[in-house]
């Protein structure tokens, strides 16, 4: 499938000062630099060419006055998301408001926020959700992100399925975003409609990198371990106790294929409900997928899905092969 969106090049960098060490807590309080925990991000905060350490600039809260506060868009596990409008440009942003005491009390939350920021702030691609600015008070951090209308999952709850052309368009954008992440050594690990956002211009944004894993983009080894993510979108190898290490890119590709199948049909390809049963696991491990009539009529689409849903992940289609698929 030919990619319908062009990749954008590299990211915002803040030059590291080797003579100055700034801790996370003091940086937030003073509104200087937020140095993310090195143990969390040291594998992927370096630019390929210049090997400069990324830093995140945290603005003082008084600078937030350049925005008009809008309505609450939603409430997530880390805090409230509210609309903000930049006064000068009238551009809309989604502001995620995170309480600092949550970061201090819960190392897991801090770890996830660190991973989210290191990707969404430093990497630039039109199909990966972007954080543009950070603001801090004594008690809160404000993350200003691209404004999106909602999750793909919400659209599917309302409409059940999408037209084939729109489904293919969204899938092509998902693959573009994954290709960019994989080229930077990032495996998402939790591709599903709830982690895919849609902008007012119908642009797909991959989001929620809390369980992503880092692999080496120098050696092209994308081996990952563990069964993080959402089981309904897991490939068969994650259910096979004999397989202990996996190809991260092939996990993301299978999950993206499940999203495509759901957009086309309104249902999941293997599971009949949101709760996993042993019969469901047996089916994904041993049975071939059965396509409904409307998909069977499209020979090229069936060929693409067959390539994605290979049980043996070594034989599963690659990102490049998907992009070149007719």
Residue 192's nearest CA partner among 234, 240, 223 is 234
Contact 298, 164 (CB under 8 A): yes
Residues in the chain: 326
Residue with tokens 């990966």: 128
Q: How many CA atoms lie within 13 A of 110 on its CB side?
A: 17
Contact 153, 194 (CB under 8 A): yes
| Token pair for 172 | 């092509």
**190 included as an active-site residue:** yes
Angle 152-159/248-265 helices, nearest 10 degrees? 30
Other CB atoms within 10 Å distance of the CB of residue 123? 22
d(CA 101, CA 201): 36
What ranges make up the beta strands (E) of 226-278? 245-247
Catalytic residue among 190, 208, 222, 252: 190
Residue 152's nearest CA partner among 290, 260, 281 is 260
| Token pair for 157 | 């709850």
Residue with tokens 């309480």: 99
Other CB atoms within 10 Å distance of the CB of residue 222? 19
Residue with tokens 């902008």: 199
CA dihedral 44, 49, 54, 60 (to 10 degrees): -140
Residues with a catalytic annotation lie at 190
């Amino acid at each position: 499938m030919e990619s319908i969106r062009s990749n954008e090049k590299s990211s915002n960098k803040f030059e590291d000062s080797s003579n100055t060490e700034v801790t996370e807590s003091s940086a937030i309080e003073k509104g200087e630099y937020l140095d993310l925990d090195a143990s969390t991000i040291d594998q992927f905060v370096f630019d390929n060419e210049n090997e400069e350490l990324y830093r995140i600039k945290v603005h003082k809260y008084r600078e937030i006055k350049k925005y008009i506060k809008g309505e609450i868009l939603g409430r997530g596990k880390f805090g409230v998301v509210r609309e903000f409008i930049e006064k000068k440009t009238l551009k809309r942003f989604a502001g995620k408001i995170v309480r600092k005491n949550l970061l201090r009390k819960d190392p897991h939350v801090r770890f996830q926020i660190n991973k989210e920021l290191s990707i969404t702030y430093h990497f630039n691609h039109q199909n990966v959700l972007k954080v543009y600015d950070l603001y801090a008070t004594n008690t809160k951090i404000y993350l200003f992100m691209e404004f999106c209308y909602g999750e793909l999952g919400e659209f599917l709850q309302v409409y059940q399925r999408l037209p084939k052309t729109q489904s293919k368009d969204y899938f092509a954008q998902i693959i573009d975003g994954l290709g960019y992440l994989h080229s930077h050594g990032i495996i998402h690990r939790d591709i599903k409609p709830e982690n895919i956002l849609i902008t007012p211009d119908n642009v797909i944004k991959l989001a929620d990198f809390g369980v992503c894993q880092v692999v080496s983009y120098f050696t092209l080894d994308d081996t990952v371990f563990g069964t993080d993510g959402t089981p309904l979108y897991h490939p068969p190898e994650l259910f096979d106790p004999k397989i202990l290490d996996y190809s991260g890119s092939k996990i993301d590709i299978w999950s993206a294929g499940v999203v495509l199948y759901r957009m086309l049909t309104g249902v999941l390809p293997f599971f009949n409900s949101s709760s996993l049963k042993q019969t469901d696991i047996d089916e994904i491990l041993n049975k071939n997928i059965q396509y409904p009539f409307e998909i069977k009529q499209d020979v090229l689409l069936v060929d693409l899905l067959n390539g994605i849903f290979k049980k043996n992940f070594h034989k599963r289609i690659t990102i490049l092969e998907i992009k070149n698929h007719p």
